[in-house]
Amino acid sequence: MKAPTTAEARERLTTGDALDRLWGETMGLPEGDSKEGTLRLVARLLEREHVPYALIGGVAVQLHTEEPRSTLDIDLAVPTYAHVPRAALLEAGFDHTGRHEHSDNWRAPGPGPLKQRTAVQFSAEDEGIADAVERASIVDLTGGVRLRVATVADLVVLKLAAAAEPTRRPSKREHDVADVLALLEEHPDLRSAELVARVQDVRRRLLSVGLDGSAPRTGDEE
């Protein structure tokens, strides 16, 4: 399956960045931070440090689909957390905001408050991560930036794994399923009986989860 062309990638990133800016203006956030600028900075840094990676998450879905969408975070897959170029990121002005079970979290450089800067999250050592990194496609952006993007097939695997993660908020898991459906609508050649069955299984489990993340109570419970 072909990666988006330079023209398609540039157009989709520009559209997404414009939507992000409109959201920021609505929320009264100061100007200056740019998700696209941060993405280019990270891509250059990772290439310079010879880090194997793949762009995943909402920005990757944005690149592989025509429908405009907004996403404020940049999600990247690396083989292991040891591959995260901590020293280079700190030197470039990124701030480390903590390590969670499934991600190592950073904020982009900038003068604004930490929470208003673009979030950059590295995932590693989970289901499908190694394959996504190994099979990533190269997208040449303008300005000589080379971006490694997970394939549609690998994005579907990662999104389904996230949707099936019981510790993840149900609303986020439902969003992951929606991303899978959007990818399959635009790339129907990936649709298979096995994949459809897995999506249906994940959705059934989501419907059985209460808003607090626990199974809903039945009439027989005290």
User: For the chain, what is the radius of gyration of the CA atoms?
Assistant: 18
State pLDDT tens for residues 2-31.
677 778 887 887 787 777 777 666 655 556
State pLDDT tens for residues 77-98.
999 999 999 999 999 999 999 9
State pLDDT tens for residues 182-220.
999 988 999 998 888 988 998 888 887 655 555 444 333
Strands annotated E in the chain: 54-56, 73-77, 95-100, 103-107, 119-123, 137-140, 146-149
Q: What is the pLDDT of residue 141?
A: 84
pTM of the model: 0.85
Looking at CATH, the fold of the domain delimited by 6-150 is given as Beta Polymerase; domain 2 (3.30.460)
Find tokens 């950073």 and name the residue.
Answer: 106
Cα 93 from Cα 171, distance rounded (Å): 32
Strands annotated E in 13-128: 54-56, 73-77, 95-100, 103-107, 119-123
Domain boundaries in the chain? 6-150, 151-215
| Highest mean pLDDT out of 14-23, 67-76, 114-123 | 114-123
